[in-house]
Chain A
Amino acid sequence: MDHTSPLETIFRRVALGVILVFFLFPIFWIVLMSFQTNEQILRIPPRVFFSPTLSNYKALISGELITTVGSLKLTFMHNLWNSFFLSTTSVLVALVLGVPAAYAFARFKFRLGEDIAFTLLSIRFAPPLLILLPLSLLFNEIGLSDTYIGLIWVYQLICLPLIVWIVRGYFEDISPDIEHAYRIDGHSWAQTFFRIAVPLARPGIAAAGLLSFIFAWNNFVFALILGSADKQPVTVGALAFVTAAGISYGQIAAAIVLSILPTLALALYAQRYLVEGLSLGAVKG
């Protein structure tokens, strides 16, 4: 039954349109920019219609930037791979460590349990710059600076608290009776964890994984300080476009488009897990 008046319907659509334009227009403009040369971008007034060029993408993929003062080597594709590798590995490590921890925090009462959980969360309060200096000194000392392992380790500061706290909530929402029933049926503790708790918390695990992937992907300072050129992700790599010959806006736009593609693809894929109901109808009420 629809009780909305035509006026209301029109207003609703207009409001939705305004919101969509507000959020999507910058992205749309960046996509347009990525198909323009620097001259086209910088002309005044800007134009929506132009003859598109693929030169920006070509420069990024071939790794050679031709500027007025000569050609410049770009490591963008390698940066993109670094981003992908660092984010994926960090999230996987954080999931392996965080999901069992979240389960423990949700199900068992143990000494200092709440304190440990809160300490994990408090890592998110502190600005990363606060720990970067001692961390870089320490990493230099033990030989972890400029290594993938070192970066993945530091990325746990981003991923682990998110995963532990989001997934914990989902585990708490599962009726313990469902797990008890599975135990009484004759299954071991581990079987119950992997076949009941984890599948039922899957929407939460997917959401937490996706979120921490995005946070890891967008991270800038850790990689800037702790990694050198060949370990740096796109966020740091984009600095290369600010050259002596000026800022190459076209390449920056193209780089942004390329670097949001993996996150976008992941978000679209994980969407169906995110919206999947938690335990619909299994328990009364």
Chain B
Amino acid sequence: MSGLELRHVRKAFGAHEVFPDLSLEVEHGEHVAIFGPSGCGKTLLLRLIAGIYDPDAGDILMDGRSILDLAPDRRGIGMAFQNFALYPHMSAFDNIASPLSAHGNSAPTEHVREIAGLLKIDHVLSHAPRALSNGQKQRTALARALVGEPKLLLLDDPLRNVDAKLRYEMRLELPKLLRGFDATVLYVTQDYKEAMALGHRIAVMSRGTIRQFGTPEEIYYQPADVEIARLFGDPTINLLQLQPEKSERGVHIRLSEVAVPLPDGDALPTGRECTVGLRPEVLAFVDADVPAAIPVTVEAETPLNEKVVSLVRTSCGHELLVSRPAGTPAPASGPAHIGVDPGRLLLFDPSSGDRIALQDAVSTRGGSTT
């Protein structure tokens, strides 16, 4: 039985329809990252589930039962808000104890201390929220969401308002912490790294619909469309407008006049332009005598700690980003050659942006396109 299910949920504010028809099914105990650009309705989705707003149509079910007729206080949900939403007139302790006291737990002290210890805020429990640092506020808000051991945990971009170092720490710490709770988790984020680190599965939202729902690997290697391919990955994917050509050896594309063969696909488009997606790490510098080496000119190089990103230009004028692990040798400028792993190349329909399925390395491993 699914832990949470949204069935054809529709929600509009006046003439503005945020969700035309949204469905989502999350397994019990699963952690799902909801990823999308700001304004796509991620936060509203959580608020519908929490009961702050009611959907105009459709149904929301927890453990197979509709929760729409339950008030927010009866749904058994824990939620951490993006702006923390701590009670300013209560101490951190009382903030965390709030869900327990609401349910008539008269002696919540031990439980609060335990969860505060897990989140390393046990030394500031007597402080008022205004005396807490942003990191401590965020941990207090998380503790408050977790303390009642809710069946469903809604985390609305809880790392948005903390600094980069803390965010990095929490990104490592949170999955471990959440594993200790038997809760279904919905985690809203705008940071694709957070989504990949925290979600068993990722729901990619755009303009009120879920464009793709899959594991981080599926999203990364088999993005449903060119928009998703662009959102995931740093540096961003290279996108080229190219026309695949057909020859006796199969279909290929040309980069600097060198033919790069495409794997067999269902319906490889020939004779019209396609968007070719090449992730920077799919490209590599090679020696000139390697078969199908593509001659390029290195224009610039940016070291990014663990990796180095080079900007290269093909002879036909396409600019490409090439990423390699730091410390590996490569020409810093001037002429060079790059090689492409054709199995990891992505092809998109130029008009719809949808990915065109190829017999690539991932799909032959058994994954299927969603």
Contacts and interface: CB of A to CB of B under 8 A. Distances in A.
Given A281-B131, A282-B88, A282-B129, A181 B81 contact: yes
Given A177-B81, A283-B84, A199 B73 contact: no
B78 interface: yes
12 contacts: A177-B85, A178-B85, A180-B52, A181-B144, A182-B98, A183-B73, A185-B144, A187-B73, A188-B71, A277-B130, A281-B131, A283-B88
A183 B99 CA distance: 9
A3 interface: no
Count class of interface residues, chain B: 35 or more
Contacts of A20: none
Contact of A280 (B71, B130, B134): B130
Interface in B202-251: none
A184 B89 contact: no
Interface string A74-116: 0000000000000000000000000000000000000000000
B137 to A, nearest CB: 8
A180 B102 CA distance: 14
Interface of B: 47, 50-52, 71-75, 77-79, 81-89, 98-99, 102-103, 128-132, 134, 137, 144, 148, 161
Contacts of A268: none
Nearest to A187: B102
Tell me which of A177, A181, A199, A279 has the highest count of chain B C-beta atoms within 10 A of its own C-beta: A181
The 5 closest A-B pairs by CB, nearest first: A281-B130, A282-B88, A186-B102, A177-B85, A185-B99
Nearest to A195: B87
Given A180-B52, A282-B130, A186 B84 contact: no
A42 interface: no
A183 B129 CA distance: 19
Nearest to A179: B85
Contact of B83 (A187, A196, A283): A283
A284 interface: yes
A116 to B, nearest CB: 22
Contacts, number: 90
A177 B52 CA distance: 9
A228 interface: no
Contacts of A277: 130
Contacts of B134: 284
A281 B75 CA distance: 29
A119 interface: no
Contacts of B132: 281
Interface residues of A, number: 25
A200 B89 contact: yes
Contacts of A183: 51-52, 71-73
Given A181-B81, A281-B129, A200 B88 contact: yes
A180 B73 contact: no
A120 B83 CA distance: 34
A186 B102 CA distance: 5
A185 B148 contact: yes
A175 interface: yes
A147 B138 CA distance: 57
Tell me which of A182, A186, A189, A283 has the highest count of chain B C-beta atoms within 10 A of its own C-beta: A186
Nearest to B98: A185
A182 B87 contact: yes
B46 to A, nearest CB: 10
Given A281-B131, A282-B129, A184 B88 contact: no
Contact of A180 (B74, B85, B88): B85
Contacts of A196: 87
A178 B73 contact: no
A184 B132 CA distance: 23
Contacts of A187: 73, 98, 102
B122 to A, nearest CB: 20
B129 A180 contact: no
Interface in A28-84: none
